[in-house]
Amino acid sequence: MHTIDLAYVGRGLHEELVAYIADQQGYYADEDVHVALHDGCSWDVERLRQGATIGLGRALLSRLVDGIPWVALHVDTHRPLFWFLARPGPTSLADLAGRRLAVHAPRTPPGCFARIVLRQAGLDPDRDIHTVVRPPGDYGMDLRRLHEGSIDAAFVGSTMAPEAIAAEYGWRVLAWVGDHFRIPTVGLAVDPTRVHPDDPAVQAVVRAHRRALQVIHDEPDTTVRYIRTFLGRHTADEARAHHETFIAPFFTTDGQADLAVGATAIIAVAAELGVPATVTAAEFYRTTAGRTDERKPEAGPVRCGPLPGGGGASPARPT
């Protein structure tokens, strides 16, 4: 049996759903691969690059900023699952001018995406908005702060169904990032100087994840049942609506990247970060199965076993 470390770097359906389905459906076992799934949200890049990562956004930022030659081998979606959620008052992103917004740090993937979308709305994130920077999490504290009125809006991720939350509290979803900025965000990426893209364990995970994508499209009842394990505060109808609105229409069917979307996104991200766009979409998004021209690590076999201190459990959604 092959083994591999796989880390997610954000919490919620956006990053975890496809791997969760692959595990629960037995696709990893079918492919004879043991996947040790890790919470890599707080890992530094050196630790992250020892295995595979789900977070394509962070891999891209790392390649542009740090020069680490990450390559993406599988793409789940081109529509980032982040939303701007606001208390009564603002009715558009432009209305956030002068208001308090809880958001991720500028040089994190979701923070970068948020700034790109805000600029599209004519806002300078550094001058026009009072930002409250906070790390990624389950966004529960953001909901509390919105409820008490200490912030006016929050940039939230897929640990909740924002439209259902807005209806519950009388708030408003000002925008879904996926409507305004497209980028291949989650899937599977490796640093080929540490883990070769054609390693049998890597390719086994790619195949398992492609099968999981088929479940999302062909088995809605099964998918909604899995989604409810992430959206514990929501009803079955709310989970189904979330799947029908944001998941099924926009997750890929085959794990392939749209290189035109990727090219535009790379330019936008590099511009927001203030760095050169030193990689092309074709160089970064290599989602077609088969051999690559990357060299294998010079010393010893590819290491895909559990990382030090990372645990070795089979993949299961953290509780």
pLDDT tens-digit readout, 116-140: 999 999 999 999 999 999 987 789 9
Say how many C-beta atoms besides its own lie within 10 A of residue 132's C-beta.
Answer: 16
Q: How confident is the model at residue 317 (pLDDT cuts 50, 70, 90)?
A: very low
For 214, the token pair is 């088929």
300 vs 80, more confident? 80
Question: Can you state the angle between helices 220-230 and 13-24, rounded to 10 degrees?
Answer: 120
The predicted pLDDT at position 232 comes to 92
pLDDT at 316 over 90: no
The predicted pLDDT at position 45 comes to 94
State pTM to two decimals.
0.89
**Nearest to 242, CA basis, from 144, 157, 142, 146:** 157
Burial class (CB in 10 A: 0-12, 13-18, 19+), 19: buried
**Nearest to 104, CA basis, from 113, 95, 96:** 113
pLDDT at 306 over 50: no
For 299, the token pair is 């010393």
CA distances from 184 to 81, 170, 265 (A): 11, 32, 8
Whether 80 and 58 have beta carbons less than 8 Å apart is answered as: no
The predicted pLDDT at position 269 comes to 98
**Nearest to 154, CA basis, from 86, 81, 82, 80:** 86
Contacts of 146 (CB under 8 A, 6+ apart): 85, 86, 87, 152, 153, 154, 169, 171
Give the H or E element holding residue 82: none
